[in-house]
Each structure stands twice: as C-alpha cells, then as structure tokens.
Amino acid sequence: MPKSPKPRRKGEDLGFRAGTGFFAALVVLLVAGIAFVLWRESRLSIAKFGFNFWRTTIWDPVAGEFGALPFIWGTLYSSFLALLISTPVALGIAIFLSELSPRFLRTPLAFLTELLAAIPSIVYGLWGVFVLVPLVRKLEVLTPAWARTLPLFSGPPLGVGMLSAALILAVMIIPFTSSVAREVLKAVPATQREAAYALGATRWEAIQVALRYGRTGVIGAVILGLGRAIGETMAVTMVIGNSPQITTSLFAPQYTMAAVIANEFTEAADDLYLSALIEIGLVLFAITLLINAASRFLIWSVNRDVKAPAPKRATLPVGEAA
Amino acid sequence: MNRNARRKHLSNAVVGLCGASVALALVPLFFVFFYVVKQGFSSLSWDFFTKMPKPVGEAGGGMANAIVGTLILIGLASLVAIPVGLISGIYLSEYPKSKLATAVRFTADVLNGIPSIVIGIFAYALVVLPVKHFSALAGGVALGFMMIPIITRTTEELLNLVPPTLREGALALGATRSRAAFTVMLPAALPGIMTGILVSLARISGETAPLLFTSFSNRFWSTTLSQPIASLTVQIYTYAISPYEDWHRQAWAGALVLVSVVFLFSVLARVVTKRLERMHRT
C-alpha cells in the first residue's frame, strides 16, 4: 500500500502559506519603511526647529530659517475650496448614477466620469497653464470693482493663484468621491427606499432616506477626496503661483506643501534645507495616512452594517414584491 | 395640496440638479480631451518619436530619449512590483480571513492614498542618498512602489471572480494548495490580471512627481540605470513651464501620447473585466 501523501502535502501547504505570506508582509513593511525613513531623514529639522517649524512663516533657505505655516495654509485652503466645489457635484453624480439614471446610460456615464481620474496630473497641469489660467484671468478682470474690495477677491488679476488651483483640484477629485459614494449608495438596502416610497415620499425624499442611511460612508467618500486633494502635486504646482503667503484671497498666488517639495527638493543644497523639505513630506504622509484610514473605516462600517441585517430580508414576504 | 406640489417641485429640481452635475463633470473631461487632441495632434510628427531634443532656440527635434526613458522606468517598476503584487494578491485570495490579509488590504489601500511625491522622497532616501546621485533605478523603484497596491488588489479581486469550485476540484484531486493556486486559479484569472497590470503601467507612466528627484531628467540619450534618465512626464513638465513656443508645442504632443496610452488601456481593461465577469457568472 502506498504511504499516505498527507504529511508531505501539509508541509507544502505550510510552505506555500509562508512563501506568499512573506510577499504580502512586504506590503505592510513598505508603509512602515516609508514612515521610518521619512522620520530618520527629517530628524535634523525636527531637532532644530521643533514645533516652531509649523508656527512660523519665514522660509529663507539662505539664512537657514524654515517656517512651514504658509505651505500648510495653502494646502488646507486649496483642499477646502476644492472640496467645497467638488462635493455637491460628486454627490449629484453618485445620486444620479445610482438612483435616477436610465439603465442604458448608467455604465457609459460611470465610465466617462471615472476617466477623469485616468488623466495624468501633468496633463491637467499643462491644460491648466495654457487653458484654465487665461480663462480664470479673464474672469478675474471681469470682477466688478466693489467686489474687489472684499478680502476674498483682492489682489491683481494674475490668473495663476488659489482659484485656478482649487478649480483644477476639484475636477481631479470628483471621480474619486463620486465613485465611492456610488458604491455606498448601492450598498443601501432597497427596502429603505421602498419603505419611504410606501409612505408617500417623493424621489428626493427617498434619496434623502438612502443618503441618511449611508451617511458615514458618504462622509468617508468626501474624506477620501480630501486625501487626494492634499497630496496632489503637479497640477497644483503649475497653476498656484508658488508664492508663500497666508491670505484668504482667491486671486493671490500661494504655495502648498506638495508644491514646495516638488519645486525645491533638487535645489536643496545643504542638509538642513533638505531635512526641512522631508519634514514637510513626513507631515504630508501622516495627514494622508490618517485621512485614508478614517475614510476606509467609515466606508467599511457602512458595508458591515448593511451586510448584517441582509439575511432578514429574505424572510419578509413584502420583499418579494420588489 | 399646496405643500404636496412644493414637495414635488423640490424633488424634480433636485433630480434635475443631479443630472446637471453629471453634465458639469463631463465639461472639463471634454475640454481637456479637446485641447490635448487639438494641440497635440498638430504638433505630433514622426520626429517626435525618433529625434532627440534640440538645443534651446532651435525648432524641431523630438522626445525619443524621453520615450525610451519612460519605457525603461516602467520596465524597472514592473520588475519591482509584479512579483510582490501578484504573490501578495494570491495570498489575499487564498487566506482572505487571516489577520495578515486584513492588515495587507488596509496598508495597500493606505499606500494607494499616499501622495506620489512622498513615495518619491522615500525612493530618494533609499536609492539616491547612499550613492549621492540621481538614477533611473531610483525612479523605477519609486514607480514600482506605487504599482504594488494596485496589482495586489486587482489580483485579489480577479482571483475572487474565479469560481471556488475550481480550487476545490483541484484540491479534491489531491493537488497541493500551491499547485491549485498557480496552475488552476491563476491561469483562469490571468487575462484579467494582465490587463490590470497594463492599466497600472499606464497609470504610473503618467506620474511625474515621484520622478522629479529620483530619475531626474537628461537631455541626452542614456539607458544606463545608474545615471539620470529622461522621462516623458518630466520632459512635458520642463517644456510646459519654459518660455519657448516650440517647447510648448512638444509638451502638448507628449500629453497626447500619454493620454492616448492611458485611455486605451482603461477601455481595454473594462472590456476584459466585463467579459470575465460574464464568463464566470454562468
């Protein structure tokens, strides 16, 4: 009688699990490695400036003075404006595609909106420099004089500046927010809407019910877009004007964290300068890490909630009607 | 009655606004597409693919070195990312419930969201700093790191599309776990995984930020991995922010080439995924 193949198979299976697991663990190790290396390379700047790095506004590489507040401001302000523009549009798209669109339009429209995410950042930047910025300049020139006295619209109409950056960012993050929000709405059980309709709700009221049911996931989708906006580099660098100043003016050229790294990294001649730039990168990493983790958690919690009560539906005779 | 009419109007208005936001999002898409095709097409010529960049002030020339540079960079990135991405994807689909799988899925998503410029700094510190000069290798490593999460998740998703009965059948016939994974499951999902890899290649070939201080740029012909190398995207960037009319023209041509490649692969991936889904549903 042949010997049972079992022990050998078991060994091989274990080897397979360990072997593939090793490669899988590399992915985790990579993220940990990024965190460690960024911290190691920015120690010089952290030790020298401490928390003042994030509180002061003077960025003078020649004098060896580095304050990153204007970059933080630029990143937060541009991302905030981009979210303000993109969120209603992205949610509108998600609602239209998941609740309203005729079936034959759904796939092609979803594909087209997702193509927005496939356009490389550098192409958005090129388009921004030669098409959007002149357009924005014209718009700024047309701004009436009384409006120009408001702090929001002060400054010369240059075209390059916060407004162009916010617009281009908004376009770039719309596909991310809308596709995740669509997934979330898809995961909302049909019974929620059916119940609303049965109570005499209009379409919009039924949509509100669905939105409320999936609100944590929708918030997750918006936050995901925020993460994208904060880390976006090339397109913003090319249109924001790269001038470190803290102002609420939409017309003023400003600067972001990602843009200063992109522009000055190869010029950083001394160790302290380089270390300061890497510290900005470290914070960029930390912010996007937190934002992504938060957004994943929110989206995941909706899917979990939906999955739990799902089997119940089959036992309800009313559900059959749908 | 009056209140109901108002509710109805409000509902219709919101429905209209939702439709309008789809239209609004498509405006920039067509706008970008239109300009890239218009400006790029008139500037694109055979020279663009075969000639070297001319010195400043001289018209003409092309981006032959940058095109080859980009190909070398994505080749290097594939060498880094495909083995890691593919095998960790297999792990995720074979042991989906393990603690490591949950951690890998989470970190892959996180890695996907890390700004590309930060990945660039990491590759700089890892590859450029020790030898004190920019290199094609550093650029390839940076792009490879960006590809890993995409390939990992695509591989997992496509392996999950393959009916589990196939694996069970193989195991029942006495195959080992690895044999079932590599000779039964993987081949069944391979066309989809290949397109997934192609899409990730198309995506990273459009990346600029992580190359700025890793592979840097090079005005000359170079295929040496330890030296700075030109790439299509960095070249487009340099040309776009330059004051020269002729360079702007070439930047548009480069953008057209990039966009065409990315779109082509996106469409291809969609077709293949659809077909695979249909195939495995029955």
CATH of the domain at A129: 1.10.3720.10
**A23 belongs to a structural domain:** no
Q: What is the pLDDT of residue A319?
A: 31
Q: Searching chain A, which residue's CA lies closest to the CA of residue B241? A: A238
> Sorting pLDDT into bands at 50, 70 and 90, what band is A250?
very high
Position A51 pLDDT exceeds 50: yes
**A46 belongs to a structural domain:** no
Say which CATH superfamily domain B64-281 falls into: MetI-like (1.10.3720.10)
Q: What is the pLDDT of residue A310?
A: 40
Q: What is the DSSP letter of B114?
A: S
Name every residue whose Cβ is closer than 8 Å to that of residue B64 and which is 6 or more positions away in sequence: B49, B50, B51, B52, B221
How many Cα atoms occupy the beta-carbon half-sphere of A278 within 13 Å?
A: 28
**A320 belongs to a structural domain:** no
Looking at the structure of chain A, the number of domains it has is 1
B27 vs A: CB within 8 A: no
The Cβ of residue B115 has, within 10 Å, a number of other Cβ atoms equal to: 24
* Interface mutation target, options B1, B15, B18, chain A, most CBs of A under 10 Å: B18
Please answer yes or no on whether B21 and A281 come within 8 Å at the CB atom: no
* Average model confidence (pLDDT) across chain A: 89
Percentage of chain B with pLDDT > 90? 62
The gap from C-alpha B271 to its chain's centroid, in whole angstroms, comes to: 17
Position A5 pLDDT exceeds 60: no
A203 vs B: CB within 8 A: yes
* Interface mutation target, options B8, B9, B24, B32, chain A, most CBs of A under 10 Å: B32
Q: What is the pLDDT of residue B47?
A: 86
Position A306 pLDDT exceeds 70: no
Among A86-95, A241-250, A292-301, which range has the highest average pLDDT?
A86-95
Residue ranges of A 301-320 with Cβ closer than 8 A to chain B? none
The gap from C-alpha A291 to its chain's centroid, in whole angstroms, comes to: 8
**A289 belongs to a structural domain:** no
CA distance B93 to B167: 11
Task: Kindly state the average pLDDT of the residues A276-305.
Answer: 89
- ipTM, 2 decimals? 0.92
Position A93 pLDDT exceeds 90: yes
> Sorting pLDDT into bands at 50, 70 and 90, what band is A316?
very low
Position A201 pLDDT exceeds 70: yes
Residue ranges of A 242-301 with Cβ closer than 8 A to chain B? 258, 261-262, 265-266, 277-278, 281, 284-285, 288-289, 291-293, 296
B126 vs A: CB within 8 A: yes
Encode pLDDT of A118-144 as tens digits.
999 999 999 999 999 999 999 999 988
Name every residue whose Cβ is closer than 8 Å to that of residue A224 and which is 6 or more positions away in sequence: A176, A177, A180, A291, A292, A295, A299, B113
Of the listed ranges A141-155, A274-288, B175-189, the least confidently predicted one is: A141-155
Task: Kindly state the average pLDDT of the residues B131-142.
Answer: 93
- Could you tell me if A246 and A73 are in contact, meaning their C-beta atoms sit under 8 angstroms apart? yes
Task: Kindly state the average pLDDT of the residues B264-281.
Answer: 78
Question: Which is more confident, A308 or B211?
Answer: B211
B181 vs A: CB within 8 A: yes
Domains of chain B, residue spans: 64-281
Q: Which of A28, A40, A123 sits opposite B36 (nearest CB)?
A: A123
Please answer yes or no on whether B7 and A202 come within 8 Å at the CB atom: yes
CA distance B221 to A120: 25
Task: Kindly state the average pLDDT of the residues A109-116.
Answer: 91
Give chain B positions within 8 Å (CB) of A241.
none
CA distance A74 to B188: 49
B243 vs A: CB within 8 A: no
Task: Kindly state the average pLDDT of the residues A224-250.
Answer: 94
Q: What is the pLDDT of residue A321?
A: 31
Please answer yes or no on whether A288 and B116 come within 8 Å at the CB atom: no
Percentage of chain A with pLDDT > 90? 71
Q: Searching chain A, which residue's CA lies closest to the CA of residue B88? A: A24
**A42 belongs to a structural domain:** no
R_g of chain B, CA atoms, integer Å:
23
* Average model confidence (pLDDT) across chain B: 90
Name every residue whose Cβ is closer than 8 Å to that of residue B217 and which is 6 or more positions away in sequence: B228, B229, B230, B231, B234, B235, B238
CA distance B281 to B274: 11
Encode pLDDT of B4-63 as tens digits.
899 999 999 999 999 999 999 999 999 999 999 999 998 888 888 888 888 777 777 888
Residue ranges of B 31-60 with Cβ closer than 8 A to chain A? 31-32, 35-36, 39
Task: Kindly state the average pLDDT of the residues B125-154.
Answer: 93
Position A80 pLDDT exceeds 90: yes
Cβ burial of A314 (10 Å; 0-12, 13-18, 19+) is exposed
Q: Which of B21, B83, B121 sits opposite A93 (nearest CB)?
A: B21
B24 vs A: CB within 8 A: yes
A4 vs B: CB within 8 A: no
Encode pLDDT of A166-188 as tens digits.
999 999 999 999 999 999 999 89
Position B131 pLDDT exceeds 50: yes
Give chain A positions within 8 Å (CB) of B176.
9, 12-13, 16
Length of chain B: 282
> Sorting pLDDT into bands at 50, 70 and 90, what band is A320?
very low
Q: Searching chain A, which residue's CA lies closest to the CA of residue B251? A: A126
The gap from C-alpha B149 to its chain's centroid, in whole angstroms, comes to: 11
Q: What is the pLDDT of residue B1?
A: 59
CA distance B147 to B178: 24
Task: Kindly state the average pLDDT of the residues A245-266.
Answer: 94
Q: What is the pLDDT of residue A1?
A: 46
Q: What is the pLDDT of residue B282?
A: 54
Please answer yes or no on whether B100 and A227 come within 8 Å at the CB atom: no
The domain of A255 spans 76-267+294-307
B252 vs A: CB within 8 A: yes
Name every residue whose Cβ is closer than 8 Å to that of residue A253 and which is 6 or more positions away in sequence: A158, A160, A161, A162, A240, A241, A242, A243, A245
**A106 belongs to a structural domain:** yes
Position A307 pLDDT exceeds 60: no
Encode pLDDT of A20-50 as tens digits.
999 999 999 999 999 999 999 999 999 999 9
Q: What is the pLDDT of residue A322?
A: 29
Length of chain A: 322
CA distance A167 to A186: 28
> Sorting pLDDT into bands at 50, 70 and 90, what band is A4?
low
Task: Kindly state the average pLDDT of the residues A249-267.
Answer: 94
Give the gap in angstroms from C-alpha A283 to the nearest C-alpha of chain B. Answer: 10
Residue ranges of A 205-224 with Cβ closer than 8 A to chain B? 205, 207, 224
Q: What is the pLDDT of residue A314?
A: 34
**A279 belongs to a structural domain:** no
Name every residue whose Cβ is closer than 8 Å to that of residue B26 and which is 6 or more positions away in sequence: A112, A113
Task: Kindly state the average pLDDT of the residues B86-112.
Answer: 93
Q: Which of B241, B262, B270 sits opposite A238 (nearest CB)?
A: B241
Give the gap in angstroms from C-alpha A309 to the nearest C-alpha of chain B. Answer: 21
**A145 belongs to a structural domain:** yes
Please answer yes or no on whether A26 and B88 come within 8 Å at the CB atom: yes
- State both tokens at A110: 């979803």
Task: Kindly state the average pLDDT of the residues A283-299.
Answer: 92
